[in-house]
């Protein structure tokens, strides 16, 4: 009965999110349903009031405090790359060099470089969107495939690559004592494998679309969005990349805390982009970046609270214990546990923050290589992304399409291909020598 109620709670959350209802209202409704039904079916469990006020808010508050600086500083850095024109400069350079000859690869590369350079996936979306609209129109490609191309670059292999400054690669560091380059060889090989699948799939998809005769159709909303870009002086691409390179160096070479790396990148951006910033509005822009980071953090923390509540349910505890005591390898247990939490919560970073303390306590360094746990957990958090994931909902909304129109290819790129890549990574850890798989930890 408990498992059935958990499934119904997930369906409630999925339907509400896909209907566009605010994430907090959706999550709170599903949480309240689970809290009440768990208490009704198991009276010895927490009563609904304690479940919400203690468990749910405890999970939310704990995550908010632990990752405040990473989210806020990351958002401020992204804001600086946007208002200085640095992000536009990088994207324009790549697309200008290859766009006319290879529309899709150039857009994928632009999104990937921005994401690996530390630009928030939300900021990267708004940076490349107008250019994607323009190039899709020129190439006569359907608007519904813009989200797929965006996720192919910013939301697949880049997120799980060793050295990435994205939150999915940073969270395991706090719990395992690893570095951002943990699992270097398996991570890079899996990223290469994943990007190969992505390119093959996109090539097949766009050939199919071209053969069907489907093309671009204007509408007022997206036409207006696509024309909003303003001409302004931008830093040269080399200058634009410098703060991003500094971020990667401080994080991966000096191996300092992610918050320190992001703060260093912010200082570097303020100095290097000095001639491209409107200093009269800098305080307002930094405040706006701060609020964007807080909003993103809150939306994720809301989901973490839901995950904490789910973890307190007898049905979840029984299921998790069954997985942990199944005799499977620590890496397979990690992949299943994190993947299940991602699908339950809709958030990769939220699932990691919930699962990693348990995984770290169950599998210490004496039992398994912590770098391997780090890389498998990061891969797992990207391998079961559900359709009600917040970024997916945001991207579809910005692009002016709905799930029915656009989710098919997005699902292949954010769910099917990552699942295959997850299996590939586990096979690497099974057959490659430990001396190779432990590099980069």
Q: What is the DSSP track for 233-283?
A: ----HHHHHHHHHHHHHHHHTS---HHHHHHHHHHHHHHHTGGGS-TTSHH
pLDDT, averaged in runs of 10, over the chain (441 residues): 82 81 88 90 82 91 87 87 87 76 84 86 74 80 92 90 91 93 95 95 92 80 47 86 90 85 93 93 90 83 84 78 80 92 80 87 91 95 84 79 89 95 96 88 71
Cα angle vertex 132, ends 128, 135, to 5°?
A: 140
| Cβ atoms of 262 and 73 closer than 8 Å | yes
Q: What is the pLDDT of residue 100?
A: 58
Q: Where does residue 230 rank: exposed (0-12), middle (13-18), buried (19+ CB within 10 A)?
A: exposed
CA distance 236 to 122: 23
CA distance 259 to 351: 20
CA distance 322 to 133: 48
Nearest CA among 225, 220, 208 for reference residue 145:
208
Q: Where does residue 119 rank: exposed (0-12), middle (13-18), buried (19+ CB within 10 A)?
A: buried
Q: What is the pLDDT of residue 270?
A: 95
Could you count the other beta carbons within 10 Å of the beta carbon of residue 427? 12
Q: What is the pLDDT of residue 98?
A: 74
């Amino acid at each position: 009965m408990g498992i059935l109620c958990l499934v119904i709670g997930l369906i409630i959350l999925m339907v509400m999110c896909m209907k566009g209802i605010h994430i907090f209202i959706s999550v709170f409704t599903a949480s309240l349903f689970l809290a009440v039904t768990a208490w009704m079916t198991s009276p010895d469990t927490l009563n609904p009031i304690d479940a919400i006020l203690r468990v749910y808010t405890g999970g939310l508050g704990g995550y908010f405090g632990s990752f405040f600086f990473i989210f806020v500083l990351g958002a401020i850095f992204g804001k600086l790359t946007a208002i200085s024109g640095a992000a536009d400069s990088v994207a324009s350079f790549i697309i200008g060099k290859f766009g006319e000859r290879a529309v899709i690869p150039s857009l994928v590369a632009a999104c990937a470089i921005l994401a690996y350079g530390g630009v928030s996936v939300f900021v990267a979306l708004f940076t490349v969107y107008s250019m994607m609209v323009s190039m899709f129109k020129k190439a006569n490609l359907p608007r519904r495939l813009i989200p797929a191309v965006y996720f192919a670059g910013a939301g697949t292999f880049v997120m799980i690559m060793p050295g990435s400054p994205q939150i999915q690669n940073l969270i395991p560091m706090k719990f395992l004592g690893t570095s951002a380059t943990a699992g270097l060889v398996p991570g890079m090989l899996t990223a290469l494998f994943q990007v190969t699948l992505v390119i093959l799939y996109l090539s097949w998809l766009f050939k199919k679309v071209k053969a069907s005769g489907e093309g671009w159709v204007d509408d007022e909303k997206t036409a207006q969005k696509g024309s909003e870009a303003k001409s302004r002086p931008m830093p040269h691409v080399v200058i634009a990349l410098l703060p991003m390179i500094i971020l990667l160096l401080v994080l991966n070479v000096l191996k300092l805390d992610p918050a320190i790396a992001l703060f260093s990148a912010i200082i570097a951006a303020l100095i290097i982009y000095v001639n491209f910033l409107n200093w009269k509005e800098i305080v307002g822009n930094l405040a706006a970046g701060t609020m964007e980071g807080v909003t993103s953090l809150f939306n994720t923390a809301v989901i973490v609270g839901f995950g904490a509540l789910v973890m307190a349910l007898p049905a979840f505890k029984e299921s998790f214990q069954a997985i942990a005591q199944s005799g499977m390898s620590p890496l397979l247990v990690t992949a299943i546990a994190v993947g299940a939490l991602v699908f339950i919560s809709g958030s990769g970073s939220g699932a990691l923050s919930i699962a990693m303390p348990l995984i770290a306590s169950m599998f210490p360094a004496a039992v398994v290589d912590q770098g391997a746990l780090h890389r498998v957990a990061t891969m797992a958090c990207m391998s079961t992304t559900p359709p009600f994931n917040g970024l997916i909902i945001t991207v579809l909304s910005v692009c002016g399409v709905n799930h029915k129109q656009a989710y098919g290819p997005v699902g292949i790129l954010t769910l099917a291909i990552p699942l295959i890549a997850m299996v590939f990574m586990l096979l690497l850890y099974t057959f490659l020598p430990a001396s190779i798989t432990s590099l980069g930890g």
